[in-house]
Chains A and B, each alone.
Chain A
Amino acid sequence: MSLVRMSAAIEPAAQPKQKAGKSVLTRWRGPALGLILPLILAVGWELAVRAGFSNGRLVPPPSVIYATFSELARTGELQRHAAATLARVLAGFGIGVIVGTLLGAITGYSLLVRRFIDPSLQALRAIPSIAWVPLFILWLGIFEASKVTLIAVGVFFPVYLGVMGAVMSVDRKIVEVGRAFRLSGVKMVRRILLPAVLPAYVIALRSGLGLGWMFVVAAEFMGASEGLGFLLVDGQQLGKPAQIVAAIVAFAVIGKITDWLIVGITAPFLRWEDRFKSPAAEG
């Protein structure tokens, strides 16, 4: 489903003309195919619990998860926890992206700087980021600062690597076109380098955001009084599996929405891409 939405957003202008001719049924046949398996499993489990084959206590059926989810949403609990988690991710993502972009751009541009700092950063990257948690707590305390820092560290590396690689692989011949038109400094960056690295940058941002969502769970596990991670821990300690699954669903939905936002906001700038389209994605 997500794949189709993405490709629909970035297709060149010529494409929709052909698409408009197709019936709604043909158009959604591809995505619908992917829904069959989860639907069978969900309905099957629901029926199994209803029929009494299982009490569904440890693996709650969809109806119970839905009830828990809507109860949490009705009382405003879900919104409060989701907002707390989202705020942490956005803060950590923002810091990680800014630092990663700056360092990545500088190291990609200058061989000297790359030789100077890249080995150290690569060494730090080899450390599993969760290993920093005890140090961060000692340095920054158990509240927001240490959580946001952990997320920022997680976001930093993919963004840094992506930007550095993108800047290093900008086509020399295209840069020469810029030079032939007497561009330098800011103009060269704005008119040549920035558009040239944008596709790779979007991918770096998306993998950074993915890691941000991963690390916010780790950060909230280390002790939080609110957040979706808190709902997970709370559900485990009080034996409420439906609450855990509801929190997981919330993670999936919000994570997907933030990813769509990145794709959607950048899509207008990437329509020019000469990208591979598998024949299957057309159906």
Chain B
Amino acid sequence: MLTLEGVGKTYANGVHALDAVNLSVGPGEIVAIVGGSGCGKSTLLRAISGLDTPSQGRVMLDGEKVTKPHEKIGIIFQEPRLLPWLTVAGNVGFGLEDRPKAERDARVVEALTRVGLSEKADMWPRELSGGQAQRVAIARALVPRPEVLLLDEPFSALDAFTRVDLQDHLLGLWADTRPILVLVTHDVDEAVVLADRIMVMRPRPGRIFDEIAADLPRPRERQSSAFDRVRRHVMAALDRSLKPVAKSDANEAAAFWW
């Protein structure tokens, strides 16, 4: 159980990036966070990961306060961020340094097979394509078997085909151990395909604006009308989140002046 209790962040330069976010994510749940740029969604994710500490409130995982990177929390960044001096296998096993070599090797082989890159184990990261590199990054984050996996716009740098492929891949991997997934994205389709629950955020300061349940059966058909309904719902919420309330009133008044 991952709980955010009034998590807020004010940066040293006075920017109020995040304002009192409350969120509770149950075991095996997939939550997507969408919102316009600058709405604090990455800030929120970094606070959960323990890479940044919130200025207000706290992040709790199974009743334990998260203040620094936690062994049960894995993170996947927008870029693969593979270590160029380690082979693909070395990168995947990076978080298993303290395990016996036999166990580490076995889990690395298993994870690489699972992401379909077992024949690339001895290659250098520079020899991989963008999609392959991100798959290695996913394997690296999943190999220590985290309870929570955070994803910060993980597929946004990839082309549309690779993106869809990796989304399906991610769901397959998630089904193995069913960790909590918290996914930040600006791709509404991605949110609807992956998430059980979609949080729409609004900017300045960043806070949760709306919550939409995406209770579609899995695997989800991207072309189905139910899918489209949820997508339009999210789009509408996003639209409203970016429209300041006071200003829209003024526009309506202006429209009547003649």
Contacts and interface: CB of A to CB of B under 8 A. Distances in A.
B126 interface: yes
A198 B223 CA distance: 51
A182 B71 contact: yes
A272 B51 contact: no
How big is chain B's contact interface, by range?
20 to 34
B233 interface: no
A179 B51 contact: yes
B77 interface: yes
Contacts of A195: 83, 85
Given A180-B49, A272-B124, A173 B85 contact: no
A264 interface: no
B94 interface: yes
A139 interface: no
B83 A179 contact: no
B69 A179 contact: yes
A225 to B, nearest CB: 47
Contacts of B86: 272
A267 to B, nearest CB: 13
Interface string A189-232: 00110011010000000000000000000000000000000000
A174 interface: yes
A174 B51 contact: no
Contact of A12 (B70, B75, B84, B124): B124
Interface string B31-68: 00000000000000000010100000000000000001
Interface residues of A, number: 19
Given A179-B51, A274-B126, A174 B81 contact: yes
Contacts of A12: 124
Interface string A113-127: 000000000000000
Given A180-B51, A274-B126, A173 B83 contact: no
A249 interface: no
Interface string B84-120: 1110000000110100000000000000000000000
A34 to B, nearest CB: 30
B68 A174 contact: no
Nearest to A187: B97
Contacts of A191: 94, 97
A50 B102 CA distance: 72
A182 B68 contact: yes
B33 to A, nearest CB: 18
A255 B200 CA distance: 65
B79 interface: yes
Contacts of A271: 124
A177 B69 contact: no
Contact of A274 (B51, B83, B84, B95): B84
Contacts of A182: 68-71
B69 A192 contact: no
A273 B127 CA distance: 11
A272 B77 contact: no
Contacts of B71: 182
Nearest to B94: A181
B69 A173 contact: no
A224 to B, nearest CB: 43
A26 to B, nearest CB: 26
A272 to B, nearest CB: 5
A176 interface: yes
Q: Residue among B70, B81, B85, B86 with the most chain A CB within 10 A?
A: B85
Nearest to B73: A180
Contacts of B75: 180
Given A181-B95, A272-B124, A272-B126, A174 B83 contact: yes
A12 B127 CA distance: 11
Contacts of B81: 173-174, 176-177
A173 B77 contact: yes
B49 A272 contact: no
A158 B68 CA distance: 38
Interface of A: 12, 173-174, 176-177, 179-182, 191-192, 195-196, 198, 269, 271-274
Given A177-B81, A191-B94, 9 more contacts: A173-B79, A174-B81, A177-B77, A177-B83, A181-B95, A182-B68, A269-B85, A272-B86, A272-B124
11 contacts: A173-B81, A174-B81, A177-B77, A177-B83, A179-B69, A180-B49, A180-B51, A180-B74, A181-B94, A191-B97, A195-B83
